[in-house]
Protein backbone atom coordinates (compact mmCIF):
# COMPACT_ATOMS: atom_id res chain seq x y z
CA UNK A 1 0.00 0.00 0.00
CA UNK A 2 1.36 3.43 -0.92
CA UNK A 3 1.15 6.46 1.31
CA UNK A 4 -1.53 9.00 0.52
CA UNK A 5 -0.18 12.32 -0.68
CA UNK A 6 -0.38 15.27 1.68
CA UNK A 7 -2.66 17.68 -0.15
CA UNK A 8 -3.31 20.15 2.69
CA UNK A 9 0.03 21.99 2.64
CA UNK A 10 -0.04 25.16 0.49
CA UNK A 11 3.76 24.99 0.13
CA UNK A 12 3.42 21.76 -1.90
CA UNK A 13 1.74 23.56 -4.83
CA UNK A 14 3.51 25.26 -7.72
CA UNK A 15 0.41 26.11 -9.77
CA UNK A 16 -2.36 28.38 -8.46
CA UNK A 17 -5.58 30.00 -9.66
CA UNK A 18 -8.19 32.06 -7.83
CA UNK A 19 -11.98 31.74 -7.92
CA UNK A 20 -14.40 34.32 -6.61
CA UNK A 21 -17.10 32.71 -4.50
CA UNK A 22 -20.42 33.57 -6.11
CA UNK A 23 -23.70 33.89 -4.24
CA UNK A 24 -25.04 31.21 -6.61
CA UNK A 25 -22.41 28.80 -5.18
CA UNK A 26 -24.19 28.69 -1.81
CA UNK A 27 -26.55 26.01 -0.52
CA UNK A 28 -29.53 26.38 1.81
CA UNK A 29 -27.22 26.49 4.85
CA UNK A 30 -25.30 29.46 3.42
CA UNK A 31 -21.99 27.73 2.73
CA UNK A 32 -20.45 26.84 -0.62
CA UNK A 33 -22.15 23.76 -2.06
CA UNK A 34 -20.15 20.59 -2.78
CA UNK A 35 -20.93 20.94 -6.50
CA UNK A 36 -19.37 24.42 -6.56
CA UNK A 37 -16.25 23.02 -4.88
CA UNK A 38 -16.08 20.46 -7.70
CA UNK A 39 -16.27 23.29 -10.24
CA UNK A 40 -13.37 25.06 -8.50
CA UNK A 41 -11.31 21.88 -8.82
CA UNK A 42 -12.28 21.60 -12.49
CA UNK A 43 -11.15 25.18 -13.09
CA UNK A 44 -7.78 24.35 -11.56
CA UNK A 45 -7.34 21.17 -13.64
CA UNK A 46 -8.30 22.91 -16.87
CA UNK A 47 -6.02 25.90 -16.17
CA UNK A 48 -3.06 23.59 -15.47
CA UNK A 49 -3.69 21.57 -18.63
CA UNK A 50 -4.07 24.76 -20.69
CA UNK A 51 -0.77 26.06 -19.33
CA UNK A 52 0.86 22.81 -20.48
CA UNK A 53 -0.61 22.93 -24.00
CA UNK A 54 -3.96 21.19 -23.53
CA UNK A 55 -7.44 22.10 -24.69
CA UNK A 56 -6.32 23.58 -28.01
CA UNK A 57 -8.85 23.37 -30.86
CA UNK A 58 -6.19 21.99 -33.19
CA UNK A 59 -5.08 19.23 -30.79
CA UNK A 60 -5.76 15.64 -31.86
CA UNK A 61 -6.29 14.74 -28.19
CA UNK A 62 -8.32 15.87 -25.21
CA UNK A 63 -8.51 15.22 -21.47
CA UNK A 64 -11.26 13.42 -19.57
CA UNK A 65 -11.73 12.99 -15.84
CA UNK A 66 -11.68 9.27 -15.00
CA UNK A 67 -11.65 9.41 -11.19
CA UNK A 68 -12.25 12.06 -8.56
CA UNK A 69 -11.92 11.74 -4.80
CA UNK A 70 -12.86 14.90 -2.89
CA UNK A 71 -12.52 15.31 0.86
CA UNK A 72 -14.27 18.27 2.48
CA UNK A 73 -12.39 19.79 5.39
CA UNK A 74 -14.14 23.07 6.27
CA UNK A 75 -16.93 25.42 5.27
CA UNK A 76 -16.38 28.15 2.73
CA UNK A 77 -18.67 31.16 3.04
CA UNK A 78 -19.66 34.11 0.88
CA UNK A 79 -18.01 36.52 0.19
CA UNK A 80 -14.55 35.04 -0.35
CA UNK A 81 -11.82 34.42 -2.86
CA UNK A 82 -10.77 30.79 -2.96
CA UNK A 83 -7.25 29.81 -4.01
CA UNK A 84 -6.90 26.50 -5.83
CA UNK A 85 -3.51 24.79 -5.83
CA UNK A 86 -2.83 22.01 -8.34
CA UNK A 87 0.13 19.65 -8.58
CA UNK A 88 1.03 16.52 -10.52
CA UNK A 89 1.31 13.43 -8.33
CA UNK A 90 1.97 10.79 -11.01
CA UNK A 91 2.49 10.61 -14.76
CA UNK A 92 1.39 7.41 -16.47
CA UNK A 93 1.41 6.30 -20.09
CA UNK A 94 -1.95 7.86 -20.96
CA UNK A 95 -2.98 9.34 -17.62
CA UNK A 96 -1.96 11.92 -15.08
CA UNK A 97 -2.92 11.97 -11.41
CA UNK A 98 -3.40 15.45 -10.00
CA UNK A 99 -3.57 16.58 -6.40
CA UNK A 100 -5.48 19.76 -5.63
CA UNK A 101 -6.74 21.78 -2.71
CA UNK A 102 -9.10 24.69 -2.25
CA UNK A 103 -7.84 27.19 0.31
CA UNK A 104 -9.48 30.11 2.07
CA UNK A 105 -6.37 32.05 3.02
CA UNK A 106 -4.08 29.33 4.39
CA UNK A 107 -6.99 27.20 5.66
CA UNK A 108 -7.78 24.15 3.55
CA UNK A 109 -11.43 23.82 2.55
CA UNK A 110 -11.26 20.64 0.44
CA UNK A 111 -8.76 18.35 -1.29
CA UNK A 112 -9.03 16.32 -4.46
CA UNK A 113 -7.08 13.50 -6.04
CA UNK A 114 -8.06 13.25 -9.72
CA UNK A 115 -7.04 10.88 -12.49
CA UNK A 116 -7.20 12.45 -15.93
CA UNK A 117 -6.87 10.36 -19.09
CA UNK A 118 -5.60 11.65 -22.42
CA UNK A 119 -7.91 10.50 -25.20
CA UNK A 120 -7.72 10.64 -28.97
CA UNK A 121 -10.20 13.31 -30.12
CA UNK A 122 -11.46 11.17 -33.01
CA UNK A 123 -11.76 7.75 -31.37
CA UNK A 124 -12.28 8.81 -27.73
CA UNK A 125 -9.86 6.05 -26.73
CA UNK A 126 -6.86 6.51 -24.40
CA UNK A 127 -3.69 7.64 -26.13
CA UNK A 128 -0.16 8.22 -24.79
CA UNK A 129 0.62 11.61 -23.27
CA UNK A 130 2.03 13.80 -26.04
CA UNK A 131 5.73 14.60 -25.38
CA UNK A 132 5.11 18.36 -25.02
CA UNK A 133 2.29 17.77 -22.53
CA UNK A 134 4.41 15.30 -20.55
CA UNK A 135 7.24 17.85 -20.42
CA UNK A 136 4.89 20.62 -19.24
CA UNK A 137 3.25 18.44 -16.61
CA UNK A 138 6.66 17.24 -15.39
CA UNK A 139 7.41 20.81 -14.31
CA UNK A 140 4.51 20.53 -11.82
CA UNK A 141 5.41 17.05 -10.55
CA UNK A 142 5.74 17.04 -6.78
CA UNK A 143 6.74 13.58 -5.54
CA UNK A 144 4.46 12.02 -2.93
Q: Cβ distance 13 to 86 under 8 Å?
A: yes
Which helix (H) or strand (E) element contains residue 35?
Answer: helix 34-51
Per-residue pLDDT tens digits of the chain, which is 144 residues long: 455 678 999 999 999 999 999 999 999 999 999 999 999 999 999 999 999 988 888 889 999 999 999 999 999 999 999 999 999 999 999 999 999 999 999 899 999 999 999 999 999 999 999 999 999 999 999 876
Q: What is the pLDDT of residue 2?
A: 57
10-138 CATH: 3.10.129.10
How far is CA 111 from each of CA 6, 44, 122, 123, 132, rounded to the nearest angstrom?
Answer: 9, 12, 33, 32, 27
Q: Please give the span between the terminal C-alpha atoms of the chain, in angstroms, as a whole number.
A: 13
HSE at residue 111, side-chain half, CA atoms within 13 A, is 17
Residue ranges of domains in the chain: 10-138
- Counting every residue written for the chain, the total comes to 144
Residues 6+ apart with CB under 8 A from 32: 21, 25, 26, 75, 76, 77, 78, 82, 109
Q: What is the pLDDT of residue 54?
A: 83
Q: What is the pLDDT of residue 144?
A: 63
Look at residues 65, 46, 130 and name the one whose alpha carbon lies nearest to residue 94. Answer: 130
pTM of the entire structure?
Answer: 0.93
Q: DSSP secondary structure string, 91-107?
A: E-SSEEEEEEEEEETTE
b/e 113-130 (16+ beta carbons within 10 angstroms → b): bbbbbbbeeeeeebbebb
Under DSSP, is residue 18 helix (H, G, I), strand (E, B) or coil? strand
Amino acid sequence: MTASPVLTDPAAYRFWIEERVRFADLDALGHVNNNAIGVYFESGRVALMESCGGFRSESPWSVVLARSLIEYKAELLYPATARIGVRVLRLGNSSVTLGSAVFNGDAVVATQEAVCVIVDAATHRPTPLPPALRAGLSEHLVPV
